[in-house]
Each structure stands twice: as structure tokens, then as C-alpha cells.
């Protein structure tokens, strides 16, 4: 057998959801640049699930469906309050909360198309509410319920703070959600598909995906980027900090990608928003530091930023707690996970690869009292 560690370059399935071809990302054939500039996140979710952009009446109906299922039951919120809120990582809380949602859904075990679609709507609608509820509860504040007149992007920021967000904040957050929505067969998406390929339920699939996203080599990179920027502190410290990292051969988060070779096509959109937002907040030094790091890594290592690098300063500028960056990733990526889960169900085959055994062979069993 030929062993491909990390399954790099292995084609594991066919999909009509998203594609990465010649360093270009597209959702169902639509280039990410046009979608990032023009589409609402709700349009993207509809596109990923239905393989077409909605017409006006379809979009309004879909928005209404999401709004109707965004609320969390009071008893569910009481369960969240039982968690050790001040010490648990938000991704661990989200993983447990999504699993708990399955307990509350009486149709969780039903596997017909109609039931699975409704579960997808519930999960997409409730994920932002869970993350913002957790954020407020751990600060000793009561959760703020969603408003039916706001988009997913606007609602998230509203539920986080209780204040209606500014248009530029909504634009930035919507753009981030659009850019993170799907990314072909990444680690968390593959995890979700492996899980439901056993014909397990959607809640199990999404819980599995969150577990994979929790790892710093996947979803935790933007939080690590913000930690790095905080440690550096100022523009004049960048040079020494990055050179020391490179000398120690330590990984610099937010750079490089398994798939892209010339650069992540999503990064430039968040770079623009990072510039606008840090100028508004008076923290333009964060953007300047990021650009200097970008220049150094390009010159020294020929590495370019991925989507995580500039998303860190975007979320920071929106006054979002740094450890919520990865849960926000999940709020967006659940749209892609659900699309892939539904696609897996439609043409399912159990995913069961092989391993090349390299351990000892033909050992004879020796009774325990005879072993030395």
C-alpha cells in the first residue's frame, strides 16, 4: 500500500458544494470574490444547501424559517448555566451545547429528507444564539434573544452586546461569515462526513465537526494570531519577534495552507476590512503590525496569509472576545458542514480507509506468570 500521511492530495469523494481550482475558491461555481463583495450570508447558506442562489421570494421565506428557529428554549439556557462558564473553553461549551440540542429535538433520530432539512435550519439558526448566550452568561449577564428583523450577521452582534451594530460592523461580520462558510473537504467537514456516513444523525455530525474545528491547526489559528499580535505589542517589536520565531523554527499562525500555493483568495477581503475597522477604532497599529509580519514572511519564507490572519484584527475591532473567534468560525462553517452532511446522506457509502501496519508480527502469547 502507498501511505499518504494526512491524506494530502487524496480524492475521497465527489461534491457539488465548493471547489478549489488553481488557487481559486468557488461556492457552487460562484467565485468567492463576487460572493464576498455582494452576497448576504443567508444567500450563501441557501446556495450551499440548494446549489442555486435564491430568488427574492425564496430568500425571504428562508430568512423567515431561520428567524423562527433562532430562539433557544428557557430550559436549554438553564442547562448552559450549569456549565463551569468561567473556566470552560467556548469551543468545548459549543460542542456540548450542540450535542444537547439533539436531546431537545424530538425529530433528532428521524432520517427522512424533510426532517433532516428542518434539523439543518434549526442548527444554522441556533448556533449564533448559543455562542452569544454563552458569552453573556459567563460575564454574569442574561442572554439577549434574537430579533426577527435582523440578519444573521447583525443579530449576532446585537445579541452579543444588546446594541444595534453600525453598518460597517455588519458588513465586516457578514463578509467574514461568507468567506468561512465552506472550504471543500477540510478536516472538520471530512469529520462530519465520516460521522454521518455511518448513518448517525445530524447533531452527531455537527458535534464531531466542532470537535475537529477546536484544534489549533484548524479553527484555532485566528485566536492564536491575536495572541501573537498582543504579545508583540507594537510595530517596532515585530522584527525581533518574528526573527526569533523563525530562528527557533516555530510555526507562525495565520500563514501557509495545505491546499493553496500562491495564496488564500479569502485573505484580501478581510485585509481590507481590517484596515477600515482598525482606523475607526484607533488601533491602526494592529493593521500596521500585521502588514509588516506579512511582508517579512513573504520575503523570508515565501509564505502568505491565510483567511485566519486578518480575521483576527477584524473580530478584535468588533470588540469580540478573542476566545470566541473559533466559535464564530463554527457559526459560519456549520452552513458548509450541513451541506456536506445532506450530500453524504443523498449518496452514502461508509468511509472506511485502511492503515499500513508497521508494528511487530507473529508474536507468541506468553502467560503472565512466565513473562520477564
Instruction: Tell the residue number behind the cell numbers 499580535, with chain if given.
Output: 229
Provide the pLDDT confidence category of residue 8 given band limits of 50, 70 and 90: confident
**Is 276 contained in some domain?**
yes
**Is 125 contained in some domain?**
yes
Instruction: Tell me which residues are annotated as active site.
Output: 257, 308
In this structure, the answer to whether residues 53 and 157 fall within a common structural domain is yes
In this structure, the answer to whether residues 252 and 155 fall within a common structural domain is no
**Is 11 contained in some domain?**
no
In this structure, the answer to whether residues 170 and 288 fall within a common structural domain is no
**Is 18 contained in some domain?**
no
- Long-range CB pairs of 81-86 (<8 Å, 24+ gap) are 81/137, 85/134, 85/137, 85/138, 86/138
In this structure, the answer to whether residues 199 and 93 fall within a common structural domain is yes
Q: Are 187 and 273 in contact (CB under 8 A)?
A: no
Alpha carbon dihedral 336, 338, 340, 342, in 10-degree steps, equals -150
In this predicted model, what pLDDT tens digit does every residue of 25-83 receive, in sequence order?
A: 999 999 999 999 999 999 999 999 999 999 999 999 999 999 999 999 999 999 999 99
**Is 77 contained in some domain?**
yes
Output the pTM of the full model: 0.94
**Is 292 contained in some domain?**
yes
In this structure, the answer to whether residues 140 and 263 fall within a common structural domain is no
In this structure, the answer to whether residues 84 and 233 fall within a common structural domain is no
**Is 80 contained in some domain?**
yes
In this structure, the answer to whether residues 62 and 99 fall within a common structural domain is yes
In this structure, the answer to whether residues 56 and 117 fall within a common structural domain is yes
**Is 249 contained in some domain?**
yes
In this predicted model, what pLDDT tens digit does every residue of 121-171 receive, in sequence order?
A: 999 999 999 999 999 999 999 999 999 999 999 999 999 999 999 999 999
User: For the domain that residue 80 is a member of, what is the CATH number?
Assistant: 1.10.580.10
User: For the domain that residue 232 is a member of, what is the CATH number?
Assistant: 1.10.230.10
What is the span of the domain harbouring residue 240?
221-317
In this predicted model, what pLDDT tens digit does every residue of 256-303 receive, in sequence order?
A: 776 777 778 999 999 999 999 999 999 999 999 999 999 999 999 988
In this structure, the answer to whether residues 159 and 231 fall within a common structural domain is no
Rounded Cα distance between 39 and 153, Å, is: 12
Domain boundary among 317, 338, 364: 317
Q: Are 208 and 214 in contact (CB under 8 A)?
A: no
C-alpha 135 chain-centroid distance: 17
Q: Is 306 strand, coil or helix? A: coil
Instruction: Tell the residue number behind the cell numbers 484548524, with chain if given.
Output: 218
Please report which helix (H) or strand (E) contains residue 308, including its range.
Answer: helix 307-317
In this structure, the answer to whether residues 268 and 341 fall within a common structural domain is no
In this structure, the answer to whether residues 45 and 163 fall within a common structural domain is yes
Query: How many domains is the chain built from?
Result: 2
In this structure, the answer to whether residues 41 and 124 fall within a common structural domain is yes
Amino acid at each position: 500500500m502507498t501511505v499518504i500521511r494526512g491524506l494530502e492530495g487524496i480524492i475521497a469523494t465527489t461534491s457539488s458544494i465548493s471547489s478549489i481550482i488553481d488557487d481559486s475558491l468557488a461556492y457552487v461555481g460562484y467565485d468567492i470574490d463576487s460572493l464576498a463583495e455582494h452576497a448576504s450570508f443567508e444567500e450563501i447558506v441557501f446556495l450551499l444547501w440548494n446549489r442555486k442562489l435564491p430568488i427574492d421570494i425564496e430568500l425571504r421565506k428562508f430568512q423567515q424559517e431561520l428567524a423562527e428557529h433562532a430562539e433557544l428554549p428557557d430550559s436549554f439556557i438553564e442547562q448552559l448555566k450549569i456549565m463551569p462558564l468561567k473556566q470552560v473553553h467556548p469551543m468545548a461549551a459549543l460542542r456540548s451545547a450542540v450535542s444537547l440540542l439533539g436531546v431537545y429535538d424530538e425529530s433528532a433520530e428521524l432520517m427522512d429528507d424533510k426532517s433532516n432539512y428542518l434539523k439543518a435550519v434549526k442548527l444554522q439558526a441556533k448556533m449564533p444564539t448559543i455562542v452569544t448566550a454563552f458569552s453573556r452568561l459567563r460575564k454574569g449577564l442574561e442572554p439577549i434573544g434574537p430579533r426577527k428583523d435582523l440578519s444573521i450577521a447583525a443579530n449576532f452582534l446585537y445579541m452579543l452586546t444588546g446594541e444595534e451594530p453600525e453598518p460597517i460592523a455588519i458588513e465586516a461580520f457578514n463578509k467574514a461569515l461568507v468567506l468561512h462558510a465552506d472550504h471543500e473537504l477540510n478536516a472538520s467537514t471530512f469529520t462530519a462526513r465520516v460521522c454521518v456516513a455511518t448513518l448517525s444523525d445530524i447533531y452527531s455530525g455537527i458535534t464531531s465537526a466542532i470537535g475537529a474545528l477546536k484544534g489549533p491547526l484548524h479553527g484555532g489559528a485566528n485566536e492564536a494570531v491575536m495572541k501573537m499580535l498582543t504579545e508583540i505589542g507594537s510595530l517596532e517589536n515585530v522584527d525581533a519577534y518574528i526573527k526569533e520565531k523563525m530562528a527557533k523554527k516555530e510555526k507562525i499562525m495565520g500563514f501557509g495552507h495545505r491546499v493553496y500555493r500562491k495564496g488564500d483568495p479569502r485573505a484580501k477581503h478581510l485585509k481590507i476590512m481590517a484596515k477600515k475597522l482598525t482606523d475607526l477604532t484607533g488601533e491602526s497599529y494592529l493593521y500596521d503590525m500585521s502588514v509588516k509580519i506579512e511582508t517579512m514572511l513573504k520575503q523570508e519564507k515565501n509564505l502568505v496569509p491565510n483567511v485566519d490572519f486578518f480575521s483576527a484584527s477584524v473580530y478584535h475591532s468588533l470588540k469580540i472576545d478573542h476566545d470566541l473567534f473559533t466559535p464564530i468560525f463554527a457559526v459560519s462553517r456549520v452552513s458548509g458542514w450541513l451541506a456536506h452532511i445532506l450530500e453524504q446522506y443523498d449518496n452514502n457509502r461508509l468511509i472506511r480507509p485502511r492503515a499500513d501496519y508497521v508494528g511487530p508480527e507473529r508474536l507468541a502469547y506468553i502467560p503472565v506468570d512466565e513473562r520477564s
